Structure 1
Amino acid sequence: MKRAFLRIAGYISIAGTMLYGYLIAKGLNGWGRLLSVDPILIPLLLAGLFLSVYVHLLLHEGGHFLFGKLSGYQLISFQVRRFKYRQADHSLRRMQTASPLLAGQCLMAPPKADYAEVPFRGYLLGGILANALTGACLYSAAFLMDLREGAVMVLFSFVPVWMALSNFFPKGQNDGAVLKEASRSLPARQLLLQQLEMAQLIEAEVPFTDLPDAYFACLGEARYEKSFLIDYFYMVAYVRALGNLDFEEADSLLWAFSAHRPVKESVYWPIYLMESLFCDALFGRIGTAEEKYSQIQAQPLLKRYWNANNRIRAAYAFFCRTEIEEAKRLLSQGSAADETDAEEVDKSTEARLVQWLKGYFE
């Protein structure tokens, strides 16, 4: 909490310094003109600032694309909120559901070379540089304008500057955190590049069960467990086990994940909690499943994931609550994969699991 407060205070200080510097450069002679703004323009200005976030998201992901191409990477998919372009079939679609944690993403496959020789900094820094340059241009343009119009331009320069800073300083698994992690060691860099390679296969609709076993050799090795980039591999390996209906292996993967990694700090925490509840239900750990269900219902973000997955809800209804009709109703609505394009969901696996659960009622 203290760190978050200091980060917000830092952003406010930078914004204040930018505005003060602009006013000083203009001589502060027209300060009264800034205060005499027509009130009806204020909501329009706020709406414009809000909409500009989407413009700068597009520029941010475009920066990743540009610097990725310059580094020899190939586009896999390009996403801004619910709109996603897939290179595999050259399609642009509006997704029915999208992760609330994902504002945008430009996935690119690295060039074929030894992992130690593949460039990665340009690709990871591209979005930050795009936002920083846009912010600098907008701020510089303000000095060429009249005081009032220039002050508005300064306000609009805050958005790309804020995005550049929030992605540059390591936090969670943002660009800065991934860059720092990949720069720390060759094993961490290998995890990053292999994740991108797997993403290319998944976007080409290769079933998770057909992904090369070599990508999962890192699981259980101490040198990889230190990196948060291993989290993705646990999640994909878990889905592979589900695809083979190997529930014991799937359950053991989740246990290993929680034993080796600070799961609550992972971006995959919501998915882990849902899937661990699913396994708890299958293996009769009813008390644990009910505790997790209560936790899910108390948090809006987790509840959103819960409502999007009929397979997990049906398993909980049947194995924990013995609500057979409710389980049938949920399964009749189809699988989560029918309405999502999330990378962590394998459509063939979800469909097979739904059919497996339906087998209890046939």
Structure 2
Amino acid sequence: MKEKLRSLSYFLLLILVSAIIGYLLGKSGRVTSLTMEDLLWFILFGGVSFILHLFIHEAGHAFFGKISGYDLLSFRVFSLIFVRSQETKWILKKEKVPGTLGQCIMVPPLREKFHFKLYLLGGGVANILLSFFALILFPTSPFSWSFFLLGSLFCFINLIPMGFNDGKTLQLALKNPENAYKLWIQLDVVQRMNRGETYQELPEDYFKFKQAPSKNKKTYLDDYLDFLSLGLFLEQNDWDRADEIISRKWEDLSFLILPYQLELKKQAYYVWGYLDKNEKEVANLKNEQTFQRYIKESKAENILIKAVLVWRQDKDQVTALEQLDLAESLLGKENGLVEQKLICEKIEWFRNEIVNEMIN
């Protein structure tokens, strides 16, 4: 209930901000002279402004991150992402992250030099600064007002703490040093995996955080560390400990942010399908349209999971082996060296398990 009231207050605040902007637009005297053609151009440029501000927002993170000692690792707008490879070459790929429209991931400086304020604020600051700059240069243009309106909304939506936006992350990191350290770990893991380190090669300290005493005190920074441990147990084929994490987090499913909800459902579908347990939950996931659209994307990991379900649930060993072959053929489309390495190992492990079962 408390979270719903907070979300409602944010929504009302955005309405207030929009009303203030509308009032300023009216006071400018331009509204009274708007023609229908101006209005149509205003609406059309709204779409262009949205795309521009999405790019500006991520570029703002990159710029302010750079002056804070970070190095750019990846830059994504919608599903197009530029990723820096091990050889420092830039590669253009396609990658969707549910619940996000863009993302700028940077390699953090050493922990003792870790400054996160400018990096997190950079996107929203860039949006509002360029919005005012455009309005100052062209105060009577409908294009400027459209750009200013979208930029202001981008700024407030991202910097007012809510959900898992920049403002919320900044609020959590400022709350205590441990949260700031968790944020640093998250960024450090991304850059380590980009250069080829697997879960088992990460520092042991990353897996030693104590669980929050209650779900109300857990944050998405804590959830990330849970998924980090889950990845480690799956790499080690420790299915029981993986199931333990999934079962514990399943109780808090509705409290997770959208990307983590989908990831937890996918791992539950995978692990419970392999262990042949929690049949009701697995059946519900099979019938959940949103999740099935997510899992049906043509990616090696998704095909691997499908192969496991076909083998364990449908008892169809031949089709399962065919699906594993298909997953292997899609490995080149996976983003990152670690994903390719881990999925390749899992394909071989499951293939051996199925073949041994067929022989015996």
Which bin holds the TM-score, normalised by the shorter protein? 0.7 to 0.9
TM-score (norm 1): 0.84
Code of the residue aligned with 1:305 in structure 2: it is I
Code of the residue aligned with 1:290 in structure 2: it is A
Alpha-carbon offset, residue 276 of structure 1: 0.9
Structure 1 stretch displaced more, 322-331 or 153-162: 322-331
Q: Which whole-Å CA distance do the structure 1 matches of 2:49 and 2:142 have between them? A: 16
Q: Which whole-Å CA distance do the structure 1 matches of 2:353 and 2:94 have between them? A: 29
Code of the residue aligned with 1:61 in structure 2: it is E
Change (3 A) 1:69 1:97: closer
User: What percent identity do the matched residue pairs reach?
Assistant: 21
SS at match of 1:334: helix
Instruction: Show the counterpart of 2:93.
Output: 95
| CA RMSD after TM alignment | 2.9
- The question of 1:167 aligning with 2:161 is answered no
Instruction: Show the counterpart of 2:347.
Output: 354
Code of the residue aligned with 1:120 in structure 2: it is F
Instruction: Show the counterpart of 1:83.
Output: 81
Change (3 A) 1:189 1:234: same
Instruction: Show the counterpart of 2:122.
Output: 126
- The question of 1:232 aligning with 2:224 is answered yes
Code of the residue aligned with 2:92 in structure 1: it is R
Instruction: Show the counterpart of 1:217.
Output: 208
Q: Which whole-Å CA distance do the structure 2 matches of 1:106 and 1:97 have between them? A: 13
Instruction: Show the counterpart of 1:339.
Output: 333
Alpha-carbon offset, residue 94 of structure 1: 3.0
Instruction: Show the counterpart of 2:358.
Output: none
Residue ranges of structure 2 left out of the alignment (5+ in a row): 356-360
Instruction: Show the counterpart of 1:19.
Output: 22
TM-score (norm 2): 0.84
Alpha-carbon offset, residue 10 of structure 1: 3.9
Q: Deviations over 1:60-98 (max 9, x none)?
A: 122112222222223332222312131643333332432
Contact 2:311 2:320 in 1 (8 A): yes
Instruction: Show the counterpart of 2:180.
Output: 189
Code of the residue aligned with 1:73 in structure 2: it is Y
Structure 1 stretch displaced more, 318-327 or 103-112: 318-327
Aligned residue pairs total 345
SS at match of 2:95: coil
Instruction: Show the counterpart of 1:288.
Output: 281
Code of the residue aligned with 1:252 in structure 2: it is E
Change (3 A) 1:96 1:83: closer
The 5 Å alignment of 1:25-64 reads: 25-26=28-29, 31=32, 33-37=33-37, 42=40, 46-64=43-61
Code of the residue aligned with 2:84 in structure 1: it is R
Code of the residue aligned with 1:37 in structure 2: it is E
Structure 1 stretch displaced more, 163-172 or 216-225: 216-225
Residue ranges of structure 1 left out of the alignment (5+ in a row): none
Q: Which whole-Å CA distance do the structure 2 matches of 1:263 and 1:5 have between them? A: 17
Q: Which whole-Å CA distance do the structure 1 matches of 2:72 and 2:111 have between them? A: 17
